[in-house]
């Protein structure tokens, strides 16, 4: 009989398992569950509502062999340590693992790794604990809530709107926020206003600019050009007298180390990463990267946290690093302590480097050695280093002295006008030597002074006018949400939790309710329609305050203040009433026909607006006898205008009629003008033959998430797999004479043109783009 080993450690990730093995030694076996092993069934509700919301868990497909292997290992050891991630999802994984393992080995303990380092693992093994039933109950309650909403509302949407649609307890609220922002933008009425700036000089250089701030002792409020011109004319002949000079020192303090939401926001602003990408990269930094001969090293602490707490060891290490790298002048007398929000879970530290030994340049150098010759791996590793650099800089900066600025404000009188010049000069860099926060992350800086030095002037000094410049402006609507600002909005409104933001943003796009264009979120017509139906039929579920309150209640379940079954009962009783009402009263878009003033040119029957798989369209009211349909657009006043479909020189392969350009769910395509009598369609050629020599041509396509890409017209016929994210253009390569190039366009319309031929390496950047880049 084989001798028993010391212990079995079970984590979720194979990458984490590999890193941990390095620290534990021969006495331990390390296995990975590869995520959850059990979940509610996909084919049915899986919740017994009448019996205390009892869940029906089943083994996830493909996990049977993993469970069998883990159980086999559990029989050969004295102790089993369950070490999935230290959060609610991790606790659920640990709970289900324990249920499977207990018949084979009842000696089970729970350990939590805040960092995958020798120190973090040693500390966890020194103080093993029991499974946290309250944390599991909280996760279970959330999972059941989401199942109840999704599996009971979605069938109604299938019947009323379109098969395959779904609703989500949190995601639907996020869609509502985006839809309501779009309506604010549409309803916004721009207002004209004017500013006046005067360029002046005093006895000492340099010249400087004054801004009009007061008229007749009141705040200047110029709303039209005539008033602005009148004031400007008066300013041209006025005498400029310095009334007051104010000089003071201003300190700007560093921000706290990253929590999950702030990391997602700042990575979106600075690195242009999606929340999903940020969390995936952070997971790998936490679990461990191969650093050459040193093996796998966990580089950051656990990345799902809303606490700004730092361990004493980490602060001491950071202060030593700052003193050595930036000098003692950059170090505060005492460590900086940041307050964590009241509702935050304080179980974990803030996101920080696990050791100051691994600075970003060292990590970059060690990772580069492991990726030599693999260009794709190099790009992937560089993104990891960029995120690590961001976390590193924020952590170092948070323990440094504030930045100090010399601030100057000069008030000037000019007739009935009061003008002001403000300026600031950096006196002491402090933390800004390491890290500058993004502008929209800070608060209260909307009226920050202009950077730069103002001249020495004295009270009573007369200034010489050089130029008066009135300028017209218009108020702007609120901006559409970016990744960063939407995460910030969800956080501020209490919708979801930091660990769920990335999934929320991905899901609302995957479902086709929202699309991202030029890095901003737009609601789709489908998203707007579904949102309006849900808001009307389920006012509580779609209410921001209600959803935020539910998140607080889930936190209270984890804290032992609320029973999870009672929480579900309170939720379900009014929800069931809304469900029954919606099944009868919700608008049936599938059958709804909205009359228009247009007539069918084929049978003279009225044309009505109907809802189909690709949104609204015009259809003949004489259906099914007449199957005429048309696209249309809505004018700003709400009336309907029939869209003219571009006629082409292309002829239908079947009936020789002219082909029209139409737009469908996956982009533009050619369709026979005799539709529905002839239903022939084909893709639109870009004028480039497929390089795979399959006889097809390249055409624009659109993914299920709405992202444009380019592929072969023969994909559905022969399975040709050519694909490019860059647009093919019918221009031969000047270097290797390949028949086409590809162009990656940027937001300004320019972009890099390159050849896809392996080994060619031809690239061309337009001169304007090069200038912009410079």
Q: pLDDT digit string (tens) for 302-344?
A: 999 999 999 999 999 999 999 999 999 999 999 999 987 755 5
* Exposure string over 25-63, b if 16+ CB within 10 A, otherwise e: eeebbbbbbbebbbbbeeeebbbeeeeebebebeebeeb
CA 315/CA 739 separation, integer angstroms: 59
Q: Average of pLDDT values for 263-281? A: 95
Give the helix/strand (H/E) hosting 629: strand 629-630
Q: pLDDT digit string (tens) for 544-555?
A: 999 999 999 999
Q: Per the structure block, which two tokens stand in for 737?
A: 């004479």
Q: What angle do CA 502, 508, 509 make, to 5 degrees?
A: 95
CA 774/CA 765 separation, integer angstroms: 12
The pLDDT score that the predictor gives to residue 421 is 97
pLDDT at 407 over 80: yes
Q: pLDDT band at residue 625, thresholds of 50, 70 and 90? A: very high
Quick check: helix, strand or coil at residue 125?
helix
Q: Counting Cβ atoms within 10 Å, is residue 511 exposed (0-12), middle (13-18) or buried (19+)?
A: buried
DSSP tally for the chain: helices H, then strands E: 19, 38
Q: Average of pLDDT values for 630-650? A: 72
Lowest mean pLDDT among 392-396, 442-446, 724-728: 442-446
- State the average pLDDT for the chain: 89
E strands within 445-497? 450-451, 462-474
Q: pLDDT digit string (tens) for 195-225?
A: 999 999 999 999 999 999 999 999 999 999 9
Q: Which residue has the higher pLDDT, 666 or 602?
A: 602
* Exposure string over 196-231, b if 16+ CB within 10 A, otherwise e: bbbebbbeeeeebbbebeebeeeebebeeeeebeeb
Q: Which residue has the higher pLDDT, 664 or 740?
A: 740
Give the helix/strand (H/E) hosting 712: strand 708-712
Q: How many residues does the chain have?
A: 774
φ, ψ dihedrals at 281, nearest 5° = -65, -40
The pLDDT score that the predictor gives to residue 374 is 65
Q: What angle do CA 224, 225, 226 make, to 5 degrees?
A: 95
pLDDT at 648 over 90: no
pLDDT at 36 over 70: yes
The pLDDT score that the predictor gives to residue 284 is 94
The pLDDT score that the predictor gives to residue 553 is 96
Q: Which residue has the higher pLDDT, 381 or 372?
A: 381
Q: Which residue has the higher pLDDT, 282 or 629?
A: 282
pTM (two decimals): 0.81
End-to-end CA distance of the chain: 71
Given 23, 57, 286, 302, the catalytic residue: 302
At how many degrees (to 10) do helices 501-510 and 171-187 cross?
70
pLDDT at 749 over 70: no
Q: pLDDT digit string (tens) for 478-523?
A: 999 999 999 999 999 999 988 899 999 999 999 999 999 888 999 9
CA 258/CA 394 separation, integer angstroms: 7
φ, ψ dihedrals at 275, nearest 5° = -60, -40
Q: Residue 676 CB: number of other CB atoms within 10 A? A: 11
Quick check: helix, strand or coil at residue 468?
strand
CA 80/CA 28 separation, integer angstroms: 10
The sign of the torsion formed by the CA atoms of 135, 137, 138, 144 equals positive
Q: Residue 137 CB: number of other CB atoms within 10 A? A: 23
pLDDT at 442 over 60: no
DSSP letter, residue 263? H
Quick check: helix, strand or coil at residue 273?
coil
Q: pLDDT band at residue 439, thresholds of 50, 70 and 90? A: low
Q: pLDDT band at residue 588, thresholds of 50, 70 and 90? A: very high
Quick check: helix, strand or coil at residue 744?
strand
pLDDT at 247 over 50: yes
Where does residue 34 fall: left (phi above 0), alpha (psi -120 to 50 degrees), or beta otherwise?
Answer: left
Q: pLDDT digit string (tens) for 112-158?
A: 999 999 999 999 999 999 999 999 999 999 999 999 999 999 999 99
State the chain's maximal CA–CA distance in angstroms. Answer: 105
The pLDDT score that the predictor gives to residue 693 is 85
Does the annotation mark 286 as catalytic?
no
DSSP letter, residue 736? T
Q: Residue 441 CB: number of other CB atoms within 10 A? A: 15
Residues 693 and 681 sit within 8 Å (Cβ to Cβ): no
φ, ψ dihedrals at 454, nearest 5° = -90, 155
């Amino acid at each position: 009989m084989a001798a028993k080993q010391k212990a079995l450690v079970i984590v979720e990730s194979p990458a984490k398992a590999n890193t941990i093995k390095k620290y534990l030694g021969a006495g331990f076996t390390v296995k990975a569950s590869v995520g959850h092993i059990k979940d509610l069934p996909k084919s049915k509700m899986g919740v017994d509502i009448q019996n205390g919301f009892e869940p029906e868990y089943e083994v996830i497909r493909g996990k049977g062999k993993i469970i069998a292997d883990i159980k086999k290992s559990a029989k050969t050891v004295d102790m089993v340590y369950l070490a999935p991630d230290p959060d609610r999802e991790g606790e659920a994984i640990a709970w289900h693992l324990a249920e499977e393992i207990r018949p084979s080995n009842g000696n089970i303990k729970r350990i939590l790794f805040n960092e995958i380092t020798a120190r973090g693992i040693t500390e966890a093994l020194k103080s093993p604990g029991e499974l946290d039933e309250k944390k599991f109950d909280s996760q279970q309650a959330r999972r059941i809530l989401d199942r109840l909403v999704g599996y009971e509302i979605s069938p109604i949407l299938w019947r009323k709107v379109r098969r395959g649609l779904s609703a989500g307890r949190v995601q639907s609220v996020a869609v509502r926020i985006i839809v309501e922002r779009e309506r604010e933008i549409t309803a916004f009425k721009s207002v004209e206003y004017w500013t006046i700036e005067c360029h002046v000089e005093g006895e000492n250089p340099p010249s400087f600019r004054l801004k009009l701030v007061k008229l007749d002792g009141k705040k200047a409020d110029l709303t039209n050009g005539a008033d602005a011109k009148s004031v400007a004319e008066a300013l041209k002949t006025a005498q400029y007298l310095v009334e007051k000079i104010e000089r003071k020192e201003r300190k700007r303090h560093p921000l706290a180390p990253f929590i999950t939401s702030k990391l997602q926001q700042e990575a979106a602003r600075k690195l242009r990463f999606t929340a999903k990408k940020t969390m995936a990269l952070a997971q790998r930094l936490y679990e461990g990267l191969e650093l050459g001969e040193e093996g796998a090293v966990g580089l950051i602490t656990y990345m799902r946290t809303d606490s700004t707490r730092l361990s004493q060891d980490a602060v001491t290490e950071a202060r030593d690093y700052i003193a050595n790298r930036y000098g003692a002048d950059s170090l505060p007398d005492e460590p900086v302590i940041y307050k964590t929000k009241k509702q935050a879970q304080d179980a974990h530290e803030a996101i920080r480097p696990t050791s100051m030994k691994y600075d970003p340049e060292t990590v970059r150098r060690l990772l580069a050695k492991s990726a030599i010759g693999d260009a794709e791996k190099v790009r992937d590793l560089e993104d990891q280093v960029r995120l690590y650099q961001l976390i590193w800089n924020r952590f170092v900066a948070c323990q440094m002295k504030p930045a100090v600025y010399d601030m100057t404000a000069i008030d000037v009188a000019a007739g009935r006008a009061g003008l002001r010049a403000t300026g600031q000069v950096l006196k002491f860099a402090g933390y800004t030597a390491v890290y500058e926060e993004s502008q929209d992350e800070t608060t209260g800086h909307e009226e920050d002074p202009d950077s730069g030095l103002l001249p020495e002037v004295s009270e009573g000094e007369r200034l010489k006018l050089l130029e008066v410049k009135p300028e017209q402006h218009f108020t702007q609507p609120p901006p559409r949400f970016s990744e960063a600002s939407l995460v910030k909005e969800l956080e501020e409104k209490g919708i979801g939790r930091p660990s769920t933001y990335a999934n929320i943003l991905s899901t609302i796009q995957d479902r086709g309710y929202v699309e991202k264009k030029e890095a901003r979120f737009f609601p789709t017509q489908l998203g707007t329609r579904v949102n309006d139906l849900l808001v009307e039929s389920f006012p509580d579920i779609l209410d921001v305050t209600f959803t935020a309150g539910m998140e607080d209640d889930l936190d209270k379940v984890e804290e032992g203040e609320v029973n999870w079954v009672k929480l579900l009962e309170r939720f379900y009783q009014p929800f069931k009433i809304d469900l029954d009402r919606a099944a009868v009263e919700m608008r049936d878009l599938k059958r709804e026909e909205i009359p228009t003033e247009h007539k069918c040119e084929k049978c003279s029957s009225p044309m009505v607006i109907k809802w189909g798989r690709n949104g609204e369209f015009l259809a003949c009211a004489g259906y099914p006898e007449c199957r005429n349909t048309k696209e249309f657009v809505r004018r700003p006043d709400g009336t309907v205008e029939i869209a003219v479909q571009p006629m082409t020189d292309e002829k239908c392969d079947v009936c020789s009629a002219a082909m029209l350009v139409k737009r469908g769910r996956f982009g533009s395509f050619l369709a026979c003008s005799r539709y529905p009598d002839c239903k022939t369609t084909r893709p639109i050629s870009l004028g480039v033959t497929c390089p795979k020599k399959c006889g097809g041509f390249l055409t624009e396509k659109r993914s299920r998430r709405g992202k444009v890409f380019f592929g072969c017209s023969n994909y559905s016929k022969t399975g040709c797999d050519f694909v490019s994210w860059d647009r093919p253009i019918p221009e031969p390569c000047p270097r290797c004479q390949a028949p086409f190039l590809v162009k990656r366009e940027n937001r300004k319309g320019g972009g890099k043109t390159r050849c896809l031929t392996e080994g060619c390496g031809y690239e061309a950047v337009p001169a304007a783009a090069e200038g912009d880049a410079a």
